[in-house]
Amino acid sequence: MDALQIGRYIQKMRKSAGMTQKELAERLNVSFQAVSKWENGDTLPDTALLLPLCDVLGTTADRLLLGGTFAARDRRLMRVEDVAEGFRCMERIGQLFGENSTFFTGMVEGINENMNIDLLGYLKDPKTREVLYAEVLIQGILKGRSVDMDEIEASFENKKMVETIRRYANKAKEE
């Protein structure tokens, strides 16, 4: 945590809410000097004040503690059902736009070229569909997302896939 970055974010949010340091302090039952110290990066708000401060400033705790960035969002949980739904949506594009539409063929060709696969062929076979799911989950893990290994074990028939995902998830936890 960068106290100065957090302080600047508190100041920015306070000003955008049209409040003075004194007004923010009164709403939180602290001194205006405490608010000044936060904004200068000299101290951080007490943890007991974190949620009330976020409410007053109209922000979230993770965003406040990251000084206004959304980086914590990358840690969100990836669910197998969401990955499966993503692929169902891709297939639905072919149904809605037509399998010969430029949008659908462009999407499929782009994926085929980038991943060196036959996307539509993979989607037709349950075993290769599972490989696609695993690839998406692993790519997410590499980008900082997390998975629930109990869900992975329950969702995948291929136990080698489960172990591969587990290795990536464990490695990410170590970093």
Residues 6+ apart with CB under 8 A from 116: none
CA dist 105 and 97 (Å) reads 10
CB-based contacts of 83, cutoff 8 Å, min separation 6: 133, 136, 137
Looking at the structure, tell me whether residues 129 and 148 fall in a common domain: yes
Residues 112-129 have a mean pLDDT of: 94
Provide, rounded to the nearest whole percent, the portion of the chain with pLDDT above 70: 95
Same domain, 152 and 97: yes
Segment holding 30, helix H or strand E: none
Give this prediction's pTM: 0.57
Same domain? For 86 and 170 the reply is yes
pLDDT tens for 23-46 read 999 999 999 999 999 999 999 999
46 and 109 assigned to the same domain: no
Residue 146, φ and ψ in degrees, nearest 5:
-125, 160
Distance CA 128, CA 134 (A): 10
Residues 92 and 148 in one domain: yes
Sort strands 146-147 and 77-78 into parallel, antiparallel or unpaired. Answer: parallel
Can you give the residue range of the structural domain that contains 108?
77-174
Report the CATH number at residue 45.
Answer: 1.10.260.40
Number of domains into which the chain is organized: 2
Q: Are residues 166 and 81 in the same domain?
A: yes
Quote the tokens at residue 165: 């995902």
Please tell me the predicted confidence (pLDDT) of residue 73. Answer: 44
The model's pLDDT over 141-163, given as tens digits with 9 standing for 90+, comes to 998 899 999 999 999 999 999 99
